[in-house]
Chain A
């Protein structure tokens, strides 16, 4: 049998994602890809993969996966989850794994990732990657049209996820000593493309109010609850193109930040656009989290983009040899900064 991970439990919404599908937006096909590129690239770096290798994106609650390969090396990056390796399906005992640290699993072992805390997202990378044929140049799952991933959809119990490698490479485990996953105090935006469809008060509200992430959010868009943003006139425009991070405001005045599975065009005015450097952090926000915005100019957004890209590009060089031995590595937990800097509802 081909080497694979078999899905014992799928988690809440687990999909294969890479850095997205480019070049088909003019045909209405969304980019998709990881909501949190930092988590994806970090998990890949720890197992020695190229940054954009497809990995499992885990939302809120992780899966349980049975190893049906001689061995496999895995690494998890993202929300603080309990990561356990059980000796078999339904077997008691087992060992805990640290995030941001690779581990080798043997045939018959079960990797179980629990509920994610503080962050909505986590990424599980396997050394060598999953053996899923790219669709239109990407392994990313776009479930609405059944594109990419495994059978074009989120994982289900019983699925077999083929692996490119039959066994883990013989080498030391790696770890990333630190990774800042904390959201910035304020999510930065550039006004436009349709800020002129809003009153001065509407634009002010965007910057002065604190919003709350709605539970109705998904990979397409993050819905925000809070004061309505006042339109200047109507709330329909002639449909035009949509950028990642566009903040679309339909008739009820409540903003929706458009994410990886966003439709390529839309007919609601978009007051502002979240800068690319802040999108990964945005994707990690859990329902109920507070969120506030600050406006920056395009030049500043571009400078942040360069800084962010340099940080991502440097991640593989920051991977060091992990100390061996069972149990949790407290160092890895401590430096995985998930808490500080969370937007407070008391912020102005």
Chain B
């Protein structure tokens, strides 16, 4: 997927001469005087997200003075900047150039294999998910752990990875009654997404397993394991293995290393 040119910009900025609208269009959404969101599509979509990550890489490489940090999300890139160094109009002009000919080709993130225990005792919603999807619990586990996911974005909680695409058979809306406290390490699904609650938190997703892997570790810099663009596979483990790994993890002795990213430029999960 390639973005030809940036086009429709929001409200106050008119298109520079020589650029004609094409699809998909980029929209510039002002976020006050210290941030700007560049929106590249409408929904949760691997191809659009790949463009977002490609744009983030381009902006980072361009080292535009005044840009403080970049937050890639499903379909847009939020750019936090210092208006004492670069003002909104200048930033839009720089971004229009960086958007030109944007392509997601050649990018691939780290691949992680994350152990997950799907035993009932740590998967409180597995039976209900099986019931509502008319699948055997074993089949739910098989589908969930067989797929490869991409981290679309990290947000909601420190280190909380929004990953997709969940196999269509497992897609369910969020729980009607969110929990007030979801345990850290809970592996969860909702809509077309899956994630891991990195901290104990309120939450409305279906809990289908638990990982002992330290996805959040305050002693690490950065304390977060997964980043947008990474790829993830879940490895089913037994309850005994879970208990053993969980105690190692609690003692700070469990370290995950990314597996080699495969060759094949531009490969997506």
User: Cβ of A17 < 8 Å from any Cβ of B?
Assistant: no
Name B155's contact: one of A28, A193, A194 (CB within 8 Å): A28
In the complex, the answer to whether A276 meets B162 with C-beta atoms within 8 Å is no
In the complex, the answer to whether A244 meets B155 with C-beta atoms within 8 Å is no
Q: Which residues of B contact A304 (CB under 8 A)?
A: 33
> How far does the alpha carbon of A305 sit from the alpha carbon of B75 in the complex, in Å?
29
User: Cβ of B183 < 8 Å from any Cβ of A?
Assistant: no
Q: Which residues of B contact A298 (CB under 8 A)?
A: 12, 30, 33, 87-89
Shortest CB–CB separation between residue A190 and chain B, in angstroms? 5
Known contacts: A22-B68, A238-B75. The answer to whether A243 contacts B43 by CB under 8 A is no
In the complex, the answer to whether B10 meets A192 with C-beta atoms within 8 Å is yes
Name A23's contact: one of B31, B69, B159 (CB within 8 Å): B69
In the complex, the answer to whether B74 meets A240 with C-beta atoms within 8 Å is yes
What is the interface residue range for chain A against chain B?
Answer: 35 or more
User: Cβ of A222 < 8 Å from any Cβ of B?
Assistant: no
Shortest CB–CB separation between residue A20 and chain B, in angstroms? 10
Most chain A CB neighbours (cut-off 10 Å) among B32, B39, B75 = B32
Known contacts: A193-B31, A240-B78. The answer to whether A146 contacts B218 by CB under 8 A is yes
Interface string of A278-314 (1 = CB under 8 A from B): 0000000000000000000111011011100100000
User: Cβ of B71 < 8 Å from any Cβ of A?
Assistant: yes
Task: Identify the closest chain A residue to B45 (Cβ).
Answer: A238
Known contacts: A28-B154, A243-B80, A306-B84. The answer to whether A275 contacts B32 by CB under 8 A is yes
Name B158's contact: one of A145, A238, A274, A309 (CB within 8 Å): A145
What is the interface residue range for chain B against chain A?
Answer: 35 or more
Q: Which residues of B contact A238 (CB under 8 A)?
A: 42-44, 73-75
Q: Which residues of B contact A189 (CB under 8 A)?
A: 32
Most chain A CB neighbours (cut-off 10 Å) among B11, B33, B42 = B33
Chain B contact residues: over half helix, strand or loop, or mixed? loop
A-B contacts, 28 of them at CB < 8 A, read A23-B69, A24-B222, A25-B69, A29-B158, A29-B159, A30-B158, A145-B218, A147-B218, A190-B30, A190-B33, A192-B30, A192-B31, A239-B73, A240-B75, A240-B76, A241-B77, A241-B78, A263-B155, A265-B73, A265-B153, A273-B33, A273-B35, A276-B32, A276-B83, A298-B33, A305-B34, A305-B84, A309-B84
User: Cβ of A324 < 8 Å from any Cβ of B?
Assistant: no
Q: Which residues of A contact B35 (CB under 8 A)?
A: 241, 243-244, 273
The residues of A with any CB-CB pair to B shorter than 8 Å are: 22-30, 135-136, 144-147, 152, 189-194, 238-246, 263-266, 270, 273-276, 297-299, 301-302, 304-306, 309
